[in-house]
């Protein structure tokens, strides 16, 4: 349980604390965003263009229902943790994310580039969805997903939107290949500015080793992130036939992440996907794509109830979740919000973020006169005329 001093009131306050706690290069890798950051900023800004149409009167619901389900798992609020590699953020790592999400009654996506083994993370939260990129040959991909299945993963997420763009106008942090003596010496000045961060790691058993254990070949030690990045860059992107093959191999609940167009959403229906996430990778991929919330209404219209539509990108408060659900999302996934919570206060900080979102959803439902998240509809939102300009159908 977070002490009163460690509890934070908003996601923005969690971000400020993350900036204070983390060495600059770690903080910058969480803020991320590519090139000018057009998409990164639009993901957040687009939510503030949407307005509510609340009733003003009596008969507001005394209690509100937030429980829903995603990919076959019941969750206590329509928000889950999106997969991210949480290298070097906090010694509790993905286990801390899993624990915080479990205490909040919700699920998490675990990146195949995570810093902790899927077995340990699934033990902390059985509502785990394992995420892969298209990297390596089919046998290698199968080995990775079978390991996740044995560990108890309840669903598979395949992320489509990554095109290896590099370069940020505000500068990319130099991410070391591994934590050897030379790296420690190079990073020492940064460490000195954040002694609390370094101490936290030393007390936790040592500095982050920057490996990706879920990408290891059977019986081999965990490779480094850059060790497997090359394999990924050399793998041709998947075709729809490849995705249909993966869907069939997995068999269970299957989410395609990174869909921004109605025609592609329909193709996900065709391959038998259970769910999609309308997403532009949090503005970390192609800069200049619209905010994901701008693409949501057309995608939701195109697929109706044929699959579960999720959204991620720019969620910072409960009212953002309500806007997304009203415009057709079954639930949303969050990335930076919980990473900042983790940096600020470990698993308690992750739970703190989910609790803030829960409170925000609840009070927005009350204001809108909606007894349940399932009652939200587009009539609750005023969408400006130009909101979806440039979004392709």
Ligand X SMILES: Cc1cc2nc3c(=O)[nH]c(=O)nc-3n(C[C@H](O)[C@H](O)[C@H](O)COP(=O)(O)O)c2cc1C
**Catalytic residue list:** 281
Nearest to 170 by CA among 281, 24, 19: 24
Nearer CB in complex with ligand X: 97/307? 97
The residue within the footprint of ligand X, chosen from 159, 211, 319, 352 (CB under 6 A), is 159
Nearer CB in complex with ligand X: 265/370? 265
Question: What's the N-to-C CA distance of the chain in angstroms?
Answer: 46
Nearer CB in complex with ligand X: 145/370? 145
In the complex, what is the shortest distance from the CB of residue 215 to ligand X, in angstroms, rounded to a whole number? 11
DSSP letters of 21-77?
HS-HHHHHHHH---BT-HHHHHHHHHHHH-EE----SS---SS-B--EEETTEEESS
Tokens of 215: 């990408």
The answer to whether residue 285 forms part of the interface with ligand X (CB under 6 A) is no
The answer to whether residue 352 forms part of the interface with ligand X (CB under 6 A) is no
CA distances from 199 to 64, 90, 210, 217 (A): 43, 11, 18, 33
Number of residues that bind ligand X (CB under 6 A): 25
CA 255 vs. chain centroid, Å, equals: 13
The answer to whether residue 315 forms part of the interface with ligand X (CB under 6 A) is yes
How far is Cα 279 from Cα 292, in angstroms, rounded to an integer?
5
The residue within the footprint of ligand X, chosen from 34, 39, 68, 82 (CB under 6 A), is 82
Please choose, out of 120-128, 169-177, 264-272, 274-282, the segment that lies near ligand X by the rule CB under 6 A. Answer: 274-282
In the complex, what is the shortest distance from the CB of residue 392 to ligand X, in angstroms, rounded to a whole number? 20
Per DSSP, the three-state class of 364 is helix
Cβ–Cβ under 8 Å, residues 110 and 118: yes
In the complex, what is the shortest distance from the CB of residue 3 to ligand X, in angstroms, rounded to a whole number? 26
Q: Look at the alpha carbons of 274, 306, 374, 256 in this order and tell me if their dihedral is positive or negative.
A: positive
The residue within the footprint of ligand X, chosen from 141, 160, 334, 342 (CB under 6 A), is 334
Please choose, out of 2-10, 46-54, 71-79, 328-336, the segment that lies near ligand X by the rule CB under 6 A. Answer: 328-336
The residue within the footprint of ligand X, chosen from 68, 279, 347, 364 (CB under 6 A), is 279
Please choose, out of 120-128, 173-181, 335-343, 349-357, the segment that lies near ligand X by the rule CB under 6 A. Answer: 335-343
Nearest to 312 by CA among 334, 337, 328, 344: 334
The residue within the footprint of ligand X, chosen from 18, 22, 26, 30 (CB under 6 A), is 30
The answer to whether residue 32 forms part of the interface with ligand X (CB under 6 A) is yes
The residue within the footprint of ligand X, chosen from 23, 83, 100, 176 (CB under 6 A), is 83
The answer to whether residue 104 forms part of the interface with ligand X (CB under 6 A) is no
The answer to whether residue 214 forms part of the interface with ligand X (CB under 6 A) is no
CA distances from 122 to 99, 115, 360 (A): 10, 14, 28
Own/partner pairs, 120-124, CB within 8 angstroms, 24+ separation:
120/95, 121/94, 121/95, 121/97, 122/98, 122/151, 122/152, 122/153, 124/95, 124/98, 124/99
Nearest to 130 by CA among 115, 113, 148: 148
Cβ–Cβ under 8 Å, residues 132 and 105: no
Please choose, out of 64-72, 80-88, 301-309, 385-393, the segment that lies near ligand X by the rule CB under 6 A. Answer: 80-88
In the complex, what is the shortest distance from the CB of residue 351 to ligand X, in angstroms, rounded to a whole number? 17
The answer to whether residue 282 forms part of the interface with ligand X (CB under 6 A) is yes
Helix (H), strand (E) at residue 362: helix 336-368
Q: What share of the chain is helix, strand, coil (3-state, %, to 5)?
A: 45, 15, 40
The answer to whether residue 37 forms part of the interface with ligand X (CB under 6 A) is no
The residue within the footprint of ligand X, chosen from 39, 106, 131, 345 (CB under 6 A), is 131
Binding site for ligand X (CB under 6 A): 29-30, 32, 43, 82-85, 111, 113, 131, 159, 257, 279, 281-282, 284, 312-315, 334-337
């Amino acid at each position: 349980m977070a002490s009163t001093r460690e509890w934070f009131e908003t996601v923005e306050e969690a971000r400020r604390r993350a900036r204070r706690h983390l060495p600059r290069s770690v903080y910058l890798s969480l803020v991320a965003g590519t090139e000018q950051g057009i998409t990164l900023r639009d993901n957040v800004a687009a939510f503030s263009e949407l307005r509510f149409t609340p009733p003003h009167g009596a008969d507001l619901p005394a209690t509100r229902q937030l429980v829903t389900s995603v990919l076959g798992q019941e969750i206590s609020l329509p928000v889950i943790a999106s997969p991210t590699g949480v290298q070097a953020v906090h010694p509790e790592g993905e286990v801390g994310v899993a624990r915080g999400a479990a205490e909040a009654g919700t699920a998490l996506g675990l990146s195949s580039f995570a810093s902790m083994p899927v077995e340990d993370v699934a033990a902390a939260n059985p509502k785990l969805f394992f995420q892969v990129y298209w990297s390596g040959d089919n046998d290698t991909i199968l080995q990775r997903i079978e390991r996740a299945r044995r560990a108890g993963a309840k669903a598979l997420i395949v992320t489509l939107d990554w095109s290896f763009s590099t370069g940020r106008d505000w500068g990319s942090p130099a991410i070391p290949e591994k934590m050897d003596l030379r790296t420690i010496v190079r990073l020492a000045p940064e460490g000195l500015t954040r002694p609390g961060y370094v101490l936290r790691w030393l007390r936790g058993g040592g500095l982050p080793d920057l490996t990706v254990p879920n990408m290891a070949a059977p019986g081999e030690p965990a490779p480094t992130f850059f060790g497997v990045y090359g394999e990924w860059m050399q793998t041709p992107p998947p075709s729809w036939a490849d995705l249909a093959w993966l869907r069939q191999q997995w068999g269970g609940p299957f989410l395609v992440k990174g869909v921004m167009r109605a025609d592609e959403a329909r193709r996900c229906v065709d391959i038998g996907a259970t769910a999609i996430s309308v997403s532009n990778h949090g503005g970390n991929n192609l800069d200049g794509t619209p905010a994901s919330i701008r693409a949501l209404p057309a995608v939701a219209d195109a697929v109706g109830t044929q699959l579960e539509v999720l959204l991620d990108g720019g969620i910072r408060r409960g009212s953002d979740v309500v806007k997304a659900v009203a415009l057709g999302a079954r639930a949303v996934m969050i990335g930076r919000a919980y990473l900042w919570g983790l940096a600020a206060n470990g698993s308690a900080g992750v739970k703190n973020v989910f609790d803030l979102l829960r409170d925000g959803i609840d009070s927005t439902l009350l204001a809108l006169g909606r007894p349940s998240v399932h009652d939200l509809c587009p009539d609750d939102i005023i969408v400006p005329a130009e909101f979806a300009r440039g979004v392709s159908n």
